[in-house]
Copies of this chain bind each other. A is one copy, B any other.
Amino acid sequence: MYSENPPGKKRATTLKDIAQATQLSVSTISRALSNNASIPEPTRLRVIEAAEQLNYRPNAQARALRKSRTDTIGLLVPNIENPYFASLAAAVQRRARRAGVSTILTNTEENPDLVNQALDVMDDQRLDGIIVVPHLQSADKVAELHARGVPIVLVDRKLKDTGIPSVTSDPEPGMTAAVDLLTATDVSLGYLSGPQDTSTGRERLGLFEWLCVDRGITGVSVYYGGYRQESGYEGVRVLLEQGANAIIAGDSMMTIGALMAIHELDLVIGEDLQLIGFDDNPVFRLQNPRLTVIDQQVGKMGEQAFDLLQKLISGKGVVESVRIPTILHIHGSTAGSVQRRGRTSKS
């Protein structure tokens, strides 16, 4: 940033400048600034005063070469405009800040190539460790860093058979309660599935299908989407055409897209169709009726991911993957199910 010293602009203060100003040697300055015991206190204070007056900033890169910690971690999220990942990032950063650790955040745009590129950049920066939401296509790169001893924690999505610790949500309790709530009455169930190159997309779809088989639910429609608004928007139209009237969305972004399509079609949620969203985010609380949602407790996930990474970095304690249960919060968007359930005996 300053190494070119453009004319007319001040360059950064170096140890040499402080040496000139104090008439001391550069090595004395260096030792004084690193609190070396060989430097008498009056000299140390003189050096610090001169350094402050000259606006000296130690060079972090040079320092990092000698020091093992940068007190900075990296965080890779796939889409910062997805409120679920924004909340995850905010939770990690808050927890990190309280531990005196800075967080470098990168948005990988749901693109595995960008995940791999960003991991390379972060590896180069010699951060203390990395928290990443991976794609299956990032498995090799993540495993390579892990094998080289880079402290790395997966969050939201895991990578099978890599042995890399992860913090993920367990869809089972929330999804089971959702399916059981909707199918307590005679509905046609539909599911907006996430992408199959993510562990979450696969696991949630597998669970949904297993629940349908286990409960003997038939006439089920599945739309194979992605973690994008457009998928929810298109998907809900396809599912409605296929006759579905009770729909579960497999993530936040598809829930937003589904709401857009439903509002456009002027359907009344909770009456014309039942809808269960994914993630407890403010957007869904603002719906009228408020959305019934499968809550992943994203704040807890971010905190646990940071705590796991800290353990890995310190090398203390056993680091084990964490599963956080999902919870179904029931609100007005499934009111039809509840009402009809009360009337089951009549119909």
A and B contact pairs by CB, cutoff 8 A, 9 listed: A1-B149, A2-B148, A3-B67, A6-B315, A57-B123, A60-B125, A61-B61, A102-B121, A283-B283
Query: A residues engaging B (CB < 8 A)?
Result: 1-4, 6, 9-12, 55, 57-62, 64-65, 67-68, 70, 72, 79-81, 83, 86-87, 89-90, 93-94, 97, 102-107, 109, 114, 118, 120-121, 123-129, 144, 147-151, 229, 256, 259-260, 263, 282-283, 285-288, 290, 315
A125 touches B80 (CB 8 A): no
CB distance from A18 to the nearest CB of B (A): 16
User: A6-B315, A62-B61 are known contacts. Are A229 and B282 too (CB-CB below 8 A)?
Assistant: yes
Q: Which residue of B lies closest to A129 (CB)?
A: B1
CA distance A260 to B284 in the complex (A): 10
Inter-chain contacts of A106 with B (CB < 8 A): 93, 102-105
Inter-chain contacts of A123 with B (CB < 8 A): 1, 57
Inter-chain contacts of A80 with B (CB < 8 A): 80, 86, 89-90, 93, 105
CA distance A255 to B135 in the complex (A): 35
Inter-chain contacts of A150 with B (CB < 8 A): 1-2
B65 touches A149 (CB 8 A): no
B72 touches A81 (CB 8 A): no
CB distance from A167 to the nearest CB of B (A): 19
Inter-chain contacts of A61 with B (CB < 8 A): 60-62, 64-65, 125-126
B9, B124, B126, B256: the one contacting A286 at CB < 8 Å is B256
CA distance A48 to B310 in the complex (A): 35
B10, B58, B263: the one contacting A147 at CB < 8 Å is B10
User: A61-B61, A80-B89, A282-B229 are known contacts. Are A97 and B114 too (CB-CB below 8 A)?
Assistant: yes
Inter-chain contacts of A121 with B (CB < 8 A): 60, 72, 102
Inter-chain contacts of A287 with B (CB < 8 A): 286
Q: Which residue of B lies closest to A67 (CB)?
A: B3
